[in-house]
Structure formats: C-alpha cells, structure tokens
Amino acid sequence: MDKSQLKPIYVPNDEPMSVTVFLSGSGTNFIAIHEEQKRLERVGEKNYGKVDLVFTNVPNCKGAQLAQEYDIPVVNLSSKKFFEIIEKDPDDNESRDSYDAAVIATIEEYCDTDLIVLAGYRRRLSSKFLNRYHNRIINLYPGDITKDYLVKGTEAWIQALSAGEDSIKCSVYMERDNERFGSAILQSQPISLSGFAEKDTILANERIRQEGEWIIFPYAVHNLIAKGCLAVDQEDNIYLEGVKLSKEGLQFGS
C-alpha cells in the first residue's frame, strides 16, 4: 500500500478537535467522552476532542438536558414532527435525505465539526449525510461486529450467550453507507458474561457499559483520532500510525 494514499481521519493542529455528538436518549456515552475531555483539559493535554455541539432528534431527551447543564450548545430537530409536517415515510430514502439536509444546515450554523460521534442516535443516516462527512463519523456497538451470528433486534450479549460464548467485546467503528457496520477501529477487552442469563438485562448492560463502552469510546475519540493516529485507505481499511489494522481493529490494552 502506498502510504501517501492514506487519508487521516483528523490532522491535529493547535486547537482541540471539534466534536459534534449525536444522541437520542440518555447520553451515557456522551458523558463518558465529555468527562475524559475535562480530565485532559485539567492536566494540560494539547490534542484531544472537545464537544462543541450536541445534536438530537428527540428534543428534551436526557442526554440533551445534561449537555445543557454542562453549558454545551444543543440543537434539535424533532424527526417525529419533521415527518409529520412533510407527511412522508420517515424511512424512505428521499425523506431521509430531506431530514438530513435540514440537520446538516442546522449543525453547520454552529460549528465546523471535525468528527461526528453517534452516541445512541436512533436514526439511520442518509447517503447525503454520510457523503458530507465521509471518514468523519464513528459509532459504537456493544458487541463484536466481526461475529457472523449477529442479527438485528436482539441484544448482542444475548446473541453471544446463545452462540456459546462466555465473554463479549464492544466495538468502535467507522459509519458507512449501506453497511450495518463499517471498518472496526477499536475493540474492548473481553467482558465476562459468566453467570448471566437472558433475564439479567440490566446487570449485563451495566457491566458492558462500564467495562467496554465507557472506556473505548472516549479512548477512540481522544487518544486515537484527536491525536492524528488513524488513517483510512481507498478500500476503507483502518491504519494506526501507518500500520494496517486487522478486521477486528485495535484491541484495547494490547
């Protein structure tokens, strides 16, 4: 691979990387990212991600309320009301493009974002949006995105148990058009599922958040992307400091 053809996800400069967080609910991953930002600010770190804007399609959701308490600008565009007004199916491609065009105009009034973080954003992004911010949108899944047993509609840890596994990994990945999961950037250390049954949803999800999501999402934003460590080639492979990662991405702690 000609390394001159690699495109950095972000090139550091003298200012913190500008981050826009998209959310639709409680915002727990947003909080984890923001808290790590504040820690890095306190210790005098130069290159990190700064949450400059929060966008939500669910006005007054808990995550948006928390952002306001942190004095982070919040903008919203209710997807429910938007599609009621235009009287269109919210899930057809033309309608999705219309909504996302309005979202793009809304967020770009406030900042020139370097990275968009999908932290529990419950809307499928349109091709228009993904092309606009190509290689600048990351997402998280509370499971190992390389597993072939994954189906939609069932929690990943339950699927892992059903597949006979005794642990699970969370994955940060690049959001891509027409793909459920884009290329893996980072995976957590294995999280034990020992002793859990399907009825243990609250406890299992809490462990997965604490030992996986809340560790790797801030790390990917602040330690990998904001520091300019990652690049992408024309085939969507991810590179760390010029070295191509495997399909599983970087393994946290390795």
Give domain 3-142+170-186+214-251's CATH superfamily: Formyl transferase, N-terminal domain (3.40.50.170)
Q: How far apart (Å, rounded) are the C-alpha atoms in residues 120 and 241?
A: 29
Which pTM does this prediction carry? Answer: 0.95
pLDDT in tens, 77-117: 999 999 999 888 888 888 999 999 999 999 999 999 999 99
Please give the sequence-ordered ranges of beta strands (E in DSSP) within the chain, or none if there are none.
7-8, 17-23, 49-56, 74-76, 115-118, 137-141, 167-168, 171-174, 184-187, 191-192, 230-232, 238-240, 243-244, 250-251
> Per residue in 141-197, pLDDT tens?
999 999 999 999 899 999 999 999 999 999 999 999 989 999 999 999 999 999 999
Helix (H, G, I), strand (E, B) or coil at 56: strand
Residue 240, classed as helix, strand or coil, is strand
Domain boundaries along the sequence of the chain? 3-142+170-186+214-251
